Chains A and B, each alone.
Chain A
Amino acid sequence: MSNTTYSATSGIQQEERLLFEHAHEAPESISLPGVQGKAPSSLDVFKRKSAANIPGLSEPETVRHFVRLSQWNHGIETGFYPLGSCTMKYNPRVNEQVARLPGLAHVHPDQPEDSVQGILGLLYELQGWLTEISGFKDVTLQPAAGAHGELVGLMMIRKCLDARGEQGRKKVLVPDSAHGTNPASAALCGMYTVEIKSGADGRIDLDELKKHLDDDVAALMMTNPNTAGTFESDIKEICQLVHDAGGLVYGDGANLNALVGVARPGDMGLDCLHINVHKTFSTPHGGGGPGAGPVAVNDTLKPFLPVPRIEKDGDVFKVVTEDKQSIGSVLSTLGQTGVYMRANAYISAFGHNHIHKIAQDAVLNANYVLSRLKDVYHVPFEGLCKHECLLTDEWQNKHGVKTLDIAKRLIDLGFHPMTVYFPLIVHGAMLIEPTETESKETLDSFCDAMLEIAAQCEAGDTQALHDAPVKPIRRRLDETQAARKPVLVWSD
C-alpha cells in the first residue's frame, strides 16, 4: 500500500525532560531594568520563608525546551485540522504582526481616553462590522469566550424578562444536539434546562418544541447550522413559536462560518447571538485559548448590554461605564482587545466584496468531503450539509472498528482527527469541518485516507487501526489512570 499522498512521516523527534528535571543549578539571573535596589524594610516581615522553586534556565536552554515541545504539537500551520464545530481555519500572519504594534499591544486599559483613540476606533469599527455581518442592532465585546458570551446572553434575557414582570420564567430549552456549555451557562444564570429531542432529520422537531412551550419558558438556545451540520430551515417558525410563548431565542454562533456574508441570523428572528471570533474570524486558538465571545443583540435586548462599552460622540470615541438597565460588567476590562485586533484585520482583508466567499468555500468543502465519503461511511442525516458534515462508525462497527480507531489512524496518516463522539444524538459521531482555507488537494488527500481506512475495515485488515497511532511521540494515553490518581503538579 502506498502512503505517498499522505504527509506523515517520522523525522527526528527529540525527547525533552520536564523543566524541573534539568539537573544543573539555575544560571545567573536574567538582567532586569529598573531601580536596582531592594524592597523596603517594611516588607521584611512579609518575605517568603522559602523560595518558590521555579527552575530558571538559561535563554538557549529555555528556547530549546519550548521549541522541542512545540514540535510535538499539530497546529493548523502543520496540517489539516478538520475538527467539527471548531472552525480551524488558517490564521493570517499579518494579523499577528499588527496586533503586536506597540501602540496596540503596550497600551494600559486605564489610560486617558484621548490617549487611546486609535485602538478605541478599531474596536468601535469592529462592533459595527460584527453587528452588520450578524444582522443585529448592537454588540458587546466584553465576553472573553463563547461560553462567557452565552452567560452574558442569558443574563440579558433574564433581565429583559424581569423587566417584563416575568420573574417566574426559568426554563431554558436546549436541543439534545447542543454544546455542553449551553446547559452549564443556564445553570449559572439560576435557570434550568430541558432537553428537546431532535427529529429524525437531526433538526428541531416543531411538535416536540411545542410540547415544551409554556409559561415557564425563558429561552430557547439553538445553534444554526446545528451541530449535525445541517441548517434549521424552520428557523422562522421556531422563533415565532418561542416568541408567542413569551420566551426569547438565544443563538449559539459557534457555526456562524457557514453563513458569513450569505445569510444573517439577526434577520431570522433570533434575539441574540454570540460569535466565536476564534472560530469565524480566524483568531488563533492557542492550544485552548484565548478566544472572544462578543454577543450581538436585537432591539429587545439592546438596553441590557453590559458595560463598559464604546460609543462615538462626534469624532471622539468614549467608553461608557454606566447604564441603568445594563446587566453590569462581566470582566475587568473592555474585553480581549488583542484578539479583536486580529478579527478586525481579518474582516478588513475580505471587505464587502469577498466576505461571502468564507461561507461559500467552507460549505463547498464540507459538502465535497461528504460526497466523497457518503458511500463508505454511514451518513445519519441525508441532504446538504453546511460548513461541516456528520458521519458515524456504524458500518465499520461490524468489523470491530470504532470512531476512536479511525481518528487515531488518521493521525498516523498525517491528519488531525475530526471531532469525535459529538454531537451526542448519534452513536460514534465523526464531525468533519474542513473550513474554507483548505485546498482541493488537501481535501482529496484526507478523503483518500478515509477511504483507505474504510477499505482496510472491509478487508478485515484492522490491526493498524487498533494500534494507531504509532508515529507521534506518544501512543494512546491512559486517561483512566490520569483521572483515578490525578497528578497535576510535579514534585521533585
Chain B
Amino acid sequence: MRYLPHTNSDRQAMLESMGLHEIMDLFTDIPKEFHTKLGSLDLPDALSEAGIVKKFTKAAEKNRHAGNTRCFLGGGTYHHFVPAVVDYVISRGEFLTAYTPYQPEIAQGTLQALFEYQTMIARLTGMEVSNASMYEAATATAEAALMARRVTRKTRTVIAGSVNPRYRTVTENYLSRLEGDYVEVAMGEFGTDLSQVIDAIDETTACVIVQYPDFYGSVYDLAPLREACDAHKCLMVVAFSDVSAFGLIESPGAYGADIAVGSGQALGIPMAFGGPHLGVFACKQKYLRQMPGRVCGLTTDADGKRGFVLTLSTREQHIRREKATSNICTNQGLMCTAASTYMTLMGDAGLETVANHSAAALDLLVSKLPNGVVAADGAHYNETVLTFASQEKRDAFISEARNNDIFAGIPLETIEKGAEQIDGNRHLLVATTEMIEEDDISDYIQAMEVAL
C-alpha cells in the first residue's frame, strides 16, 4: 500500500522489539466479539493512483460546470474569477498540511496570513475586528445571533424575511433549543422594507439581522436601522452573501453594524458544489471578548521580534468548555489564506473592478429583458428576481437556456419555501459576476425570446 512506509520485516522487527508476535496482538484490549474480520468490509477493491484519476475524471465528466456553461446562479454561491496564484499558494504543503497553529514558533506563516486576513476583512467590511473564519455564512449568522444574546443578555431575535432563507433556517435551528423568541419579519416583496423590520424590534430584542445586499440582490439604506437599534439597545447584525459587493458599495461598518457576517467565497474560492467556503465574522472591538472562533494577535518573541499567536483563547471551548462563546474548533483556515492571497492580488482597484463588472452585467441583462419578464424594482448589486407571466413560461425559458449551455437562474421556490405564495412559482433568482461576458447576456436574452 503506497501510503504506508513499513515493509513486513519492519513490522516484524518492531513487534519483536516489544515482545509481540503478530500485529493483532496489539488489539487484545478490544473484546473479541467486536473484531471485524479483516478484509470483510463491504468496500470495493483498492484502486491504483491511475485508477483513482480515471474514476474521478469519469464522475466529473458527468457533471456540467461553470467552465463549460454560462452560470447565472447565485443564492449564496457565486462563480467569480480565481487567479492561478491563489490555488498555487494554498497548494503549498506548508500551508495545506499544517495543523492549527498551536506551536506558534513553527507556524508563523499561517499566523501572519491570518493576521493579514483579519485586517483585510475588517477593512473590506468596515468593521474593527474579524475572527479567523467560521464554516460558512449560515452558521456565521447563527453564531452572530448567539453572540448578541451574550452581549445584551436578552433573548429575542428579529430577522428580516429578505435574509437568505438558508441562513434563516440554520439560525432558527440553532436557536430553537434555547429560550427566547425567534421572529421572522415577512416582506411580501422582493426587497427589504426596513420600516417593517424596525417595527418588530422591542425592548427584549437582542439583535436584528438583515441582509445587505439582501437575498434578492437589493441594495438599500441601512441608516434607519442603526437608530432603531440604538433606541432599543439591541445589536445590529448585517449578513451578506457576496462580499465582493463591498469593493463598490458602502460597507456594513459604515452603517454602524455591530456584527457583520456572511460568505467570503467570492474571494478566490471555487464553488465546489457547496463547500468548503468561507464564513466571515467581523464585529466592533468592544464586543471582542464575546466573539466566537479563533483569532490571531500580534505579540513579540523572546528576542523582542514581532510575531503572531492565537489569542483570547479563554473564550474558546478547549479552555472554557461549556461556557465557551462557541463550540467551534476546526474552522476554514486554508480558505482565509486563499482569501488573503486573492485580496492581495486584487487590491482596492481590482476589488472595485470585480464589483463594477458584476453589477454592470446584471444592469445590462435587465436593460434587455423582453416584454413579459420583469425584474424587481430598486437598486441591485449583482443579483435580482425575474418574474415571468407564468410558471410554464419561466420553465420553458430555463430549459431553452439549458439547451444553450446556460444555467439561467435558481427557481425561487427551491430555496425560499412559500415564495409561490407571493404570486405563484414564476420567479427566477439570477446572478451575474465578472465571469459573464456581453455575449453570454445576448445568448441569455435570445433564449428568453425563443422560449417566450
Contact = CB atoms under 8 A, between A and B. Distances in A.
Contacts of B11: 361, 364
Contacts of A489: 115, 118-119, 122-123, 128-130
B28 to A, nearest CB: 7
Contacts of A88: 97, 99
Contacts of B88: 63
B62 A345 contact: no
Contact of B331 (A188, A288, A329, A386): A288
Interface string A63-74: 101111111111
B348 to A, nearest CB: 4
Contact of A286 (B71, B79, B334): B334
A36 B357 contact: yes
Interface stretch (A104-112, A243-251, A294-302, A449-457): A104-112
B264 interface: no
A36 B434 CA distance: 9
B248 A263 contact: no
Contact of A371 (B17, B132, B164): B17
Contact of A288 (B33, B49, B89, B101): B101
A327 interface: yes
Contact of A46 (B67, B114, B379): B379
Interface stretch (B196-204, B224-232, B298-306): B298-306
B97 A91 contact: yes
B99 A20 contact: no
Interface string B388-400: 0000000000000
Nearest to A146: B330
Contacts of B432: 35
Contact of B330 (A180, A289, A438): A289
B270 A105 contact: yes
Given A333-B275, A489-B118, A34 B435 contact: yes
Across the A-B interface, give the 9 residue pairs with the lowest CB-CB distance, nearest first. A56-B347, A333-B274, A286-B334, A103-B60, A288-B333, A118-B62, A77-B93, A351-B46, A34-B434
A188 B38 CA distance: 39
Contact of B46 (A42, A90, A354, A472): A354
Given A104-B272, A108-B71, A438-B5, A63 B94 contact: no
A264 B30 CA distance: 11
B348 A337 contact: no
Contacts of A353: 39, 45-46
A98 B56 contact: yes
A339 interface: yes
A46 B219 contact: yes
Given A54-B348, A183-B321, A264-B36, A349 B92 contact: no
Nearest to B288: A486
B21 interface: no
Interface string B299-332: 1111101011101111011111111101111111
26 contacts: A35-B361, A37-B357, A48-B249, A66-B92, A75-B93, A108-B273, A109-B271, A128-B42, A133-B41, A150-B327, A190-B178, A233-B30, A233-B31, A263-B35, A267-B34, A267-B36, A284-B334, A286-B95, A287-B110, A288-B101, A288-B334, A337-B274, A349-B3, A472-B105, A482-B297, A483-B312
A486 B96 contact: no
Given A96-B91, A384-B26, 5 more contacts: A33-B81, A180-B319, A368-B17, A371-B18, A440-B5
A12 B343 CA distance: 28
B246 to A, nearest CB: 7
B326 A184 contact: yes
A165 B376 CA distance: 47
A49 interface: yes
B374 interface: no
A108 B319 contact: no
Contacts of A57: 344-345, 347
A189 B366 CA distance: 45
Interface stretch (A24-32, A205-213, A392-400): A24-32
Contacts of B166: 329, 332-333
B18 to A, nearest CB: 5
Contact of A43 (B58, B113, B248, B437): B248
A73 B99 CA distance: 10
B450 interface: no
B43 A132 contact: yes
Interface in A234-283: 235-236, 259, 261-264, 267-268, 276, 278, 282
B437 A33 contact: yes
Interface string A379-417: 000011010000000000000000000011001000011
Interface stretch (B135-143, B154-162, B183-191): B135-143
Contact of A106 (B95, B174, B271, B352): B271
Contacts of A469: 105-106
A289 B334 contact: yes
A53 interface: yes
Given A48-B246, A355-B41, A188 B344 contact: no
Contact of A416 (B103, B135, B351): B103
A223 interface: no
Contacts of B221: 45-46
Contact of A83 (B99, B128, B333, B437): B99
A327 B170 CA distance: 10
Given A54-B120, A132-B43, A482 B272 contact: no
A327 to B, nearest CB: 7
A73 B98 contact: yes
Contacts of B132: 288
Contacts of A365: 14
B13 to A, nearest CB: 7
Contacts of B17: 368, 371
A251 B41 CA distance: 21
A51 B3 contact: no
Nearest to A20: B119
B352 to A, nearest CB: 8
A478 B301 CA distance: 6
A396 B260 CA distance: 48
B324 A180 contact: yes
A37 B353 CA distance: 9
Interface in B328-380: 328-335, 337, 340-341, 343-361, 363-364, 378-380
A52 B247 contact: yes
Given A183-B322, A353-B46, A439 B219 contact: no
A177 interface: no
A478 to B, nearest CB: 5
B301 A477 contact: yes
A62 B73 CA distance: 31
B31 to A, nearest CB: 6
Contact of A110 (B30, B77, B341, B437): B77
B152 interface: no
Contacts of B177: 155, 158, 188-190
A103 B63 contact: yes
Nearest to A40: B363
Interface in A113-127: 115-119, 121-122
Given A263-B30, A286-B90, A286-B95, A348 B55 contact: yes
Given A48-B248, A353-B46, A38 B30 contact: no
A313 interface: no
A339 B334 CA distance: 12
A95 B288 CA distance: 38
Contact of A121 (B62, B133, B138, B320): B62
A386 B28 CA distance: 10
A235 to B, nearest CB: 8
Contacts of B126: 52
B36 A54 contact: no
B413 to A, nearest CB: 11
A47 B250 contact: yes
A286 B96 contact: yes
Interface in A330-376: 330-339, 341, 345, 347-357, 360-361, 363-365, 367-368, 371
Given A261-B38, A262-B27, A436-B4, A407 B105 contact: no
